[in-house]
Structures are given as structure tokens and as C-alpha cells.
């Protein structure tokens, strides 16, 4: 039995004041049995969020980390710095990192290895572009991203995979529950073929315009174990509704 997981990716949003406001609503409302909740603020807000969530049932994650452990790498944040802060999770290979920072599967793999060494729980993102879907190559792309990131890794017990079709992120377009379920089932088949991964125990999240009005239908699919939520995670009421939908039997 895989526990439902809902992760809020706050991206490059917020000020100290708005983060406080969002957290006060979330901390009050998020004691929802059955669903694990994670929020991923910008680096500069991690300590503030960590302090506010310490007695709440919300864990904290980063949106990225370096593939290096320390050294003269201006602007980078090492995975050990994150775990030292009390941060438990890290998102890796988000399509915005792949698109705007040229992150290849090799870099994602190196980041994953460094994050696991630092004891972080990784959320590895995969997903195809609109052109790739229209060309019929969505599964080939996603399969290659999984192979590229996961092959040869060890200690993958805490691995979470997020399927985020690039065409659905921030666009208001969502994969239909059927489209999402088909890809999630395919991802689970791929995971079965990767050494060191327990495919039946690994949680696979859906991400891409998850909203209050589509969350329940997505969560009803057998291979969708929760969501990676962007825009709707910045609105406490919406995020709490999505968490509740994930907890429904």
C-alpha cells in the first residue's frame, strides 16, 4: 500500500510575509490522516518554512540541489546543506531546470546520486513536450529519462517519480485521467526493469495543472499516488482541498 503524497512546488514565488501567511493557513489545515504533505519553497525561504513546520505534519523540500558536495561553485547549494537544515526532500530534473538550465539526464543522475548520499528523499521529474506527444514518442522520452536518471543508482528505497507532461505545466491543460494513468502504468513497468527499484512500492506523482476541480479524478487512478502541485499550491484553500482529495478512500 503506497501512502498518498502531495507536494507543493512554490517555484520562484513569495516573500517572507506571504510565506508566513500561506504557512499559517496550511499548518492549521494540513493534519489530514493518510496523506503525506511536502512543501518546496525557494532556497531563501527554506529555514523559515522549516521552523514553521517543525511541529506540523508538513515536510520541507528544496526545488533543486547541486550534484557536488562542496567547493568553489558560486551560487550552488549542496545536498548536505539541505539535509543539515532539516530539509528532507528535493525535487530533481524538473522540466523548467531541463529547459532553462540545460539539465541533461546525466546531470539529473549526478544530482540524484549526491542527494541520496546526503540522505535526501528525491522526487525525480520526467515528462514529454507537446511535440514529442504529438509525434507519438512520449513513452520513449519518459522511458529514456527514467533510465538515464536511475540506472546504476543505489539506495533508491525513498525514490519518488513525478510524471509532469511539459505541455500541462502552468498551462491550464491537464492530462486526462486516462492519459495520465496510461503513462503512470508505463512508468511502473519501466521501474520494474531498473535494478534496485521496488516498482510496486515507489510512489509516482502526477504534475501539470493539478487543480481543485481535477485532483480527485486523477487520484482515483490506480497508478497515481499523489501530485506535484505548482500554481494551486500557492493558494492555501486550494492546496488543502487537493490534499483532502488525495486522502479520500
Residues in CB range of 10: below 8 A, 6 or more apart: 39, 40, 41, 42, 45, 63, 233, 234
Decide if residue 164 touches ligand PGA (CB under 6 A). Answer: yes
Respond yes or no: is residue 94 known to be catalytic: yes
Q: What angle do CA 198, 127, 202 make, to 5 degrees?
A: 15
> Residue 180, CB half-sphere, CA atoms under 13 Å: how many?
33
Distance CA 231, CA 168 (A): 12
Contact status, residue 202 vs residue 224, Cβ threshold 8 Å: no
CB atoms within 10 A of CB 28: 11
Decide if residue 207 touches ligand PGA (CB under 6 A). Answer: yes
Cβ at position 213, least distance to ligand PGA in Å:
13
Q: Using the minimum distance from each CB to ligand PGA, give the nearer residue, 156 or 229.
A: 229
Cβ at position 6, least distance to ligand PGA in Å:
12
Q: Binding ligand PGA by CB under 6 A: which of 19, 62, 82, 169? A: 169
Q: Binding ligand PGA by CB under 6 A: which of 170, 198, 213, 220? A: 170
Decide if residue 9 touches ligand PGA (CB under 6 A). Answer: yes
Residue 101 has which C-alpha cell?
538550465
Q: Using the minimum distance from each CB to ligand PGA, give the nearer residue, 190 or 232.
A: 232
Q: Give how many residues touch ligand PGA by CB under 6 A.
A: 13
DSSP strands (E only) in 50-167: 58-62, 89-92, 121-126, 160-163
Cβ at position 231, least distance to ligand PGA in Å:
4
Stretch that binds ligand PGA, among 27-35, 99-107, 180-188, 230-238 (CB under 6 A): 230-238
Q: Annotated active-site positions, please?
A: 94, 164
Amino acid at each position: 500500500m503506497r501512502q498518498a503524497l502531495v507536494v507543493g512546488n512554490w517555484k520562484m514565488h513569495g516573500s517572507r510575509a506571504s510565506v508566513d501567511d500561506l504557512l499559517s493557513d496550511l499548518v492549521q489545515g494540513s493534519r489530514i490522516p493518510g496523506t503525506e504533505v511536502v512543501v518546496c519553497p525557494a532556497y531563501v525561504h527554506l529555514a523559515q518554512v522549516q521552523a514553521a513546520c517543525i511541529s506540523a505534519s508538513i515536510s520541507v523540500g528544496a526545488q533543486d540541489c547541486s550534484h557536488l558536495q562542496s567547493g568553489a561553485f558560486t551560487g550552488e547549494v549542496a545536498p548536505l546543506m539541505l539535509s543539515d537544515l532539516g530539509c528532507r526532500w528535493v525535487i530533481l530534473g524538473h522540466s523548467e531546470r531541463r529547459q532553462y538550465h540545460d539539465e541533461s539526464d546525466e546531470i539529473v543522475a549526478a544530482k540524484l546520486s549526491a542527494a541520496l548520499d546526503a540522505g535526501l528523499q528525491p522526487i525525480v521529474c520526467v515528462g514529454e513536450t507537446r511535440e514529442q506527444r504529438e509525434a507519438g514518442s512520449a513513452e520513449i522520452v519518459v522511458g529514456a529519462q527514467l533510465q538515464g536518471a536511475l540506472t546504476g543508482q543505489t539506495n533508491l528505497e525513498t525514490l519518488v517519480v513525478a510524471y509532469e507532461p511539459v505541455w500541462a505545466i502552468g498551462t491550464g491543460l491537464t492530462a486526462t485521467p486516462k492519459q495520465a494513468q496510461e503513462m503512470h502504468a508505463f512508468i511502473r513497468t519501466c521501474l520494474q526493469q531498473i535494478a534496485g527499484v521496488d516498482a510496486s512500492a515507489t510512489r509516482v506523482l502526477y504534475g501539470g495543472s493539478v487543480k481543485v476541480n481535477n485532483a480527485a479524478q486523477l487520484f482515483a487512478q490506480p497508478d497515481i499516488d499523489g501530485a506535484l502541485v505548482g500554481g494551486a499550491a500557492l493558494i492555501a484553500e486550494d492546496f488543502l482541498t487537493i490534499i483532502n482529495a488525495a486522502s479520500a478512500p
